[in-house]
């Protein structure tokens, strides 16, 4: 990963997908990596479904993204 990107969430792919949409609604573009899905494509399983997703944003938006994610997680 580039120094211009920061990890803002690790968890399930389903929740990460929702969070990516939530960030997009707030004008923050994100990159979603599914490490379990990526490993299955190559022929082995690495990780578990509960923590296979990684959500990255540009460093300049990281704090705002983390706050949005924290607010969402606290409200559910």
Q: For position 32, which CATH number holds?
A: 3.30.70
Residue 17 CB-half CA count within 13 A: 4
At 9, list the tokens: 């969430």
Number of structural domains found in the chain:
1
Q: Which domain holds residue 55?
A: 5-75
- When pLDDT is averaged across residues 18-32 and rounded to a whole number, the result is 97
pLDDT at position 39 over 50? no
pTM of the model: 0.78
Out of 10-14, 22-26, 47-51, 60-64, which region has the weakest mean confidence (pLDDT)? 47-51
pLDDT at position 51 over 80? no
pLDDT tens, position by position, 59-71: 999 999 999 999 9
Determine the Cα–Cα distance for residues 71 and 76; give it in Å rounded to an integer. Answer: 9
């Amino acid at each position: 990963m580039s120094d211009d990107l920061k990890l803002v969430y690790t968890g399930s792919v389903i929740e990460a997908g929702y969070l990516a949409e939530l960030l997009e609604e707030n004008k923050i573009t994100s990159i979603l990596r599914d490490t379990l899905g990526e490993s299955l494509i190559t022929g082995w399983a690495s990780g578990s479904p509960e923590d296979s997703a990684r959500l990255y944003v540009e460093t300049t938006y990281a704090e705002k993204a983390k706050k949005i994610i924290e607010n969402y997680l606290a409200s559910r």
